[in-house]
């Protein structure tokens, strides 16, 4: 129990200037993380350069908890590409494969039908009522890379928010009580 | 300097960095593999060719697909997703790609195959353009790695055509 006494002592002996310096350092760390995230958004051309796979509809290729790196270019969408799209009215993006593509002459407007590899039917049931095709503005990006298991951290933190609070609380405590 | 916290932090940072490095190297090694897959597709039969009541043309066909995709598998390959698409042009659309059949190939042992199958997904046109239409059958494959960059390629086989009249 000696370290509780030490912790209390160290909190009591904190000087204002040191505290401010630590707060600024913390702020710098958070801000640089944000800057890196925004740069990634610019480079990859999509609003969410990294997504976590939430469902098993693309197994065995992508399991729940894997993360996907997305990239969006102005290249036309072609069959076989794994696309991430938002359906009007739903906020969770879906990661499935394009199985049918019809591209209009001249305008480049494209109709896309998608299907999850592990699903038996195509995604018409997932689209909005009366919608039979996806269009370019629904598609947020193409999956170009993949890392297994790393996404579990995000899934655990969003499904059990208590863990998020414990983690941030512990980090905060560590920052305050460190003598650096 | 030697507290538990510092040590745990150092171990965690180092292991995450090392893991990220290994994943990157694994993905890079895929660029050096020699790949020469081959495939051949024959249309065995056109089963049905009709116009869905007042709407779009639909074809049902039986395909004989032979392929050897063994050389695509490296030690960093988790699976290969292969599919056959019919690709053609119409007056309204500069490109139509309709996937007819697909399969997930989990390992090298299953990568050399020959199957005869009717099309898994409905071959429906946007319009009535399919009579006498010439199209390509393209075998696409997408390699999904254990970690890292996914890549894809295809073999285009031109010269197939549909009958001039509904059946």
Give yes or no: residues B88 and B41 share one domain: yes
Whole-model pTM: value is 0.80
Give yes or no: residues B3 and B43 share one domain: no
ipTM of the prediction = 0.81
Distance spanning both ends of chain A, measured CA to CA = 23
* Residues A67, A50: Cα–Cα separation, whole Å: 7
**Does some domain include residue B166?**
no
Mean pLDDT calculated for residue range B42-69: 82
A111 in active site: no
**Does some domain include residue B167?**
no
pLDDT digits (tens, 9 = 90+) for B67-121: 888 888 888 888 999 999 999 988 888 889 999 998 899 888 888 888 888 888 8
**Does some domain include residue B109?**
yes
CB contact under 8 A, B145 and A146: yes
Higher pLDDT, A125 or A13: A125
Give yes or no: residues B63 and B111 share one domain: yes
- Total domains present in chain B: 2
pLDDT score recorded for residue A177: 67
Do residues B77 and B106 lie in contact, with contact meaning Cβ atoms separated by under 8 Å? Answer: no
Element (H, E) at B38: strand B38-51
pLDDT score recorded for residue B14: 93
| Chain B positions in Cβ-Cβ contact with residue A146 (cut-off 8 Å) | 144-145, 147-148, 150
A57 in active site: yes
Give yes or no: residues B123 and B87 share one domain: yes
**Does some domain include residue B44?**
yes
Nearest to B92 among A80, A104, A145 (CB): A104
Give yes or no: residues B22 and B71 share one domain: no
Nearest to A104 among B94, B98, B102 (CB): B94
Do residues B138 and A151 lie in contact, with contact meaning Cβ atoms separated by under 8 Å? Answer: no
pLDDT at residue A176 above 70?
no
User: Which among A32, A48, A96, A180 is annotated as catalytic?
Assistant: A96
CA distance A172 to chain B (A): 14
Give yes or no: residues B105 and B59 share one domain: yes
pLDDT digits (tens, 9 = 90+) for B3-44: 787 888 889 999 999 998 998 888 888 888 777 888 888 887
pLDDT digits (tens, 9 = 90+) for A137-175: 888 888 888 888 888 888 888 888 888 888 888 777 776
Mean pLDDT calculated for residue range A25-45: 88
Structural domain of residue B109, as residue ranges? Answer: 34-161
**Does some domain include residue B138?**
yes
CATH of the domain at B97: 2.60.40
A123 in active site: yes
Q: CB pairs below 8 Å between A and B: how many?
A: 83
**Does some domain include residue B105?**
yes
Alpha helices in chain B (DSSP H): 4-29
Give yes or no: residues B70 and B133 share one domain: yes
Query: Which range is most confident: A99-103, A122-126, B159-163?
Result: A99-103
Mean pLDDT calculated for residue range A52-81: 87
* Residues B47, B95: Cα–Cα separation, whole Å: 24
CB contact under 8 A, A100 and B140: no
CA-nearest residue to A121 within chain B is: B121
**Does some domain include residue B115?**
yes
| Chain A positions in Cβ-Cβ contact with residue B98 (cut-off 8 Å) | 79, 99-100
Give yes or no: residues B80 and B155 share one domain: yes
**Does some domain include residue B1?**
yes
Give yes or no: residues B64 and B1 share one domain: no
pLDDT score recorded for residue B73: 87
Beta strands in B52-150 (DSSP E): 57-68, 77-88, 93-105, 112-118, 123-124, 134-145, 148-149
CA A34 to each of CA A41, A145, B165: distance values in angstroms, whole numbers, following the listed order: 11, 22, 61
Q: What percent of chain A has pLDDT over 70?
A: 93
Give the CA angle between residues B45, B36, B86 to the nearest 5°. 30
Give yes or no: residues B86 and B121 share one domain: yes
| Chain B positions in Cβ-Cβ contact with residue A117 (cut-off 8 Å) | 81, 102, 104
Give yes or no: residues B91 and B25 share one domain: no
Instruction: Select the residue from B15, B99, B120 to test the A interface by mutation, using most A Cβ atoms within 10 A.
Output: B99
CA-nearest residue to A122 within chain B is: B121
Give yes or no: residues B7 and B67 share one domain: no
């Amino acid at each position: 129990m000696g370290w509780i006494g030490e912790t209390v002592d160290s909190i009591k002996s904190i000087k204002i200037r040191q505290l401010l310096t630590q707060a600024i350092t913390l702020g710098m760390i958070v801000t640089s993380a944000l800057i890196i995230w925004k740069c990634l958004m610019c480079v990859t051309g999509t609003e969410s350069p990294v997504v976590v796979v939430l469902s098993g509809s693309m197994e065995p290729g992508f399991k729940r908890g894997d993360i996907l790196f997305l990239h969006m270019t102005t290249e036309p969408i072609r069959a076989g590409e794994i696309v991430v799209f938002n359906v009007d009215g739903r906020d969770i993006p879906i990661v499935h494969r394009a199985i049918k593509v019809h591209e209009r002459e001249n305008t480049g407007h494209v109709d896309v039908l998608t299907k999850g590899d592990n699903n038996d039917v195509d995604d018409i049931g997932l689209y909005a009522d009366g919608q039979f095709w996806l269009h370019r503005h629904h598609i947020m990006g193409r999956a170009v890379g993949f890392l297994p298991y790393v996404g579990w951290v995000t899934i655990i933190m969003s499904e059990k928010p208590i863990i998020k609070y414990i983690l941030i609380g512990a980090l905060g405590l560590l920052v305050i009580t460190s003598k650096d | 300097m030697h507290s538990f916290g510092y040590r745990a932090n150092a171990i965690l940072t180092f292991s995450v960095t090392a893991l990220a490095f290994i994943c990157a190297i694994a993905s890079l090694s895929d660029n050096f593999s020699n790949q020469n897959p081959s495939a051949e597709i024959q249309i065995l039969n056109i089963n049905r060719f009709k116009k869905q009541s007042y709407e779009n043309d639909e074809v049902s066909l039986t395909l004989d697909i032979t392929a050897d995709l063994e050389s695509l598998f490296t030690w960093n390959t988790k699976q290969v997703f292969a599919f056959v698409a019919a690709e053609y042009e119409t007056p309204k659309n500069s490109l139509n790609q309709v996937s007819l059949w697909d399969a997930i190939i989990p390992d090298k042992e299953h990568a050399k195959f020959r199957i005869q199958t009717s099309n898994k997904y409905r071959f429906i046109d946007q319009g009535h353009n399919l009579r006498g239409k010439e199209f390509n059958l393209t075998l696409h494959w997408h390699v999904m790695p254990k970690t890292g960059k996914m890549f894809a390629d295809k073999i285009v086989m031109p010269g197939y055509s549909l009958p001039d009249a509904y059946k």
